[in-house]
Amino acid sequence: MENKNRQPRVILHIDMNSFYASVEMADYPELQGKPLAIAGNPEERKGVIVTSSYEARKYGVKTTMLVGEARRLCPSLLIRRPNFDRYREVSKQLFAILREVTELVQPVSIDEGYMDISDLADRHPPELAEELQKRIFADLKVPCSIGIAPNKFLAKMASDMKKPMGCTILRKRDIPKKLWPLPVLDMHGVGEKTAEKLKKIDVHTIGDLANRKEYELKNLLGVNGSKLHQRANGFDDREVDPEAIHSFKSIGTSTTLAEDTSEETEVYRTFRKLAEKVEGRMKRKEVVGQQLQIMIRYNNRKTVTRTRLLHNNTNSREVISREAVDLFEEHWNQQPIRLLGITMSELVETDEAVEQLNLFTYERVAEKEPLYKTIEELKEKYGSDVFKSSKMPLPSIRTSFQKDFLDGD
């Protein structure tokens, strides 16, 4: 809960509108005002839409949609390949502009971030936000929406309320009128699975969530239920931390085996235990990570490490264990093993985590969509144990794509 004796804060959330498409339009003015989508393989009907302009969205073109379907909805759709180096360049220019106003800037992703302007007593927040919006558009030719609120959660919700080029104020007293009527799925921090669980207890709007007993939500969703209840009522004491994106380096653990072994079942059992420990530490620190590293020490003391960038951020023991085993099988030289270790890095706070998308992974994930659907259907019909006897690593069943993190170099 927030400290009510503290001086009120003023937080801005800056969210670039249709960022990748907007950068392309800024670089190629002939694209302005036309339905535009960014896709990794526009020549292929199975290519996946990364993002689309607002002109394209009017036709129903959405992120993760296949190119073939998007073209059926909008025959005049223009499609370009993504240029992530260019997007990161514009992103760095964006955050340089924000830091001219205050050093209290926290990048969250390549196209969004928070600012704490509480100490700028001589500036009227709405006027400052509008000036900032105009400056960004004048310098970068890219539109943005800005939310103005007393905390990060409300600022994030406010920036979503008017796009493109919106400046929205969301005060605590505005919550019942502006926030509570929204569908609960529109709430930052509520995904489709959580929304489905909430629907089963007749929580359909953010107001329904806010007015439920906190213990009911905690029983249903664990600690996250309490957190969502507080946010729905407008409480969020997270600071704007310029170092947050760099705060956590890695979390890992290792173990020396009771005896040198070449027995695969012992290796798999050990990786499960290590993954459980890593999951526990990550959840205590409320972080997720995208890079996994395993360490293998052989009986001759030779030690090797192997690293894999995962499709999405995770702190799930199942995902960590599965990916570790897969990486092990790929690199094991069949010699007896003395020690095993798992480390997760590229860590970010759970609250600010977004599923990452880059040119090398989104096509691969999209190709597996039919497999994901089949796995889910089988689990529903036969239970989650249906795959437990298989050694085959299963894909992480996360199918939404959102944003690419700022530090991609």
> Known catalytic residues?
112
Tokens of 354: 């977004």
Exposure string of 49-61, with b = 16+ CB inside 10 Å and e = fewer, is: bbbbbbbbbebeb
**364 residue type, one letter:** R
Q: How many residues does the chain have?
A: 409
Q: Which candidate, 143, 197, 215, 159, places its Cα nearest to that of 11? A: 159
Residue 111, annotated as binding a ligand: yes
Cis peptide before 183 (omega within 30 of 0): no
Please give the angle made by the CA atoms of 276, 109 and 190, to the nearest 5 degrees.
60
Please name the residues in contact with 49: beta carbons below 8 A apart, sequence gap of 6 or more: 37, 38, 39, 61, 62, 63, 64, 65, 66, 67, 70
Tokens of 176: 């019942």
Backbone angles phi, psi at 268, to 5 degrees: -65, -40
Is 241 annotated in a binding site? The answer is no
- The DSSP code for 177 is I
Angle at 313 between CA 136 and CA 304, to 5 degrees: 120
Q: How far is CA 298 from CA 262, 270, 285, 334, in A?
A: 10, 15, 32, 10
DSSP classification of residue 178: I
The region, left, alpha or beta by phi > 0 then psi within -120 to 50, assigned to residue 157 is alpha
Q: Which residues are annotated as a binding site?
A: 15, 111
Q: Which residues are annotated as a binding site for Mg(2+)?
A: 15, 111
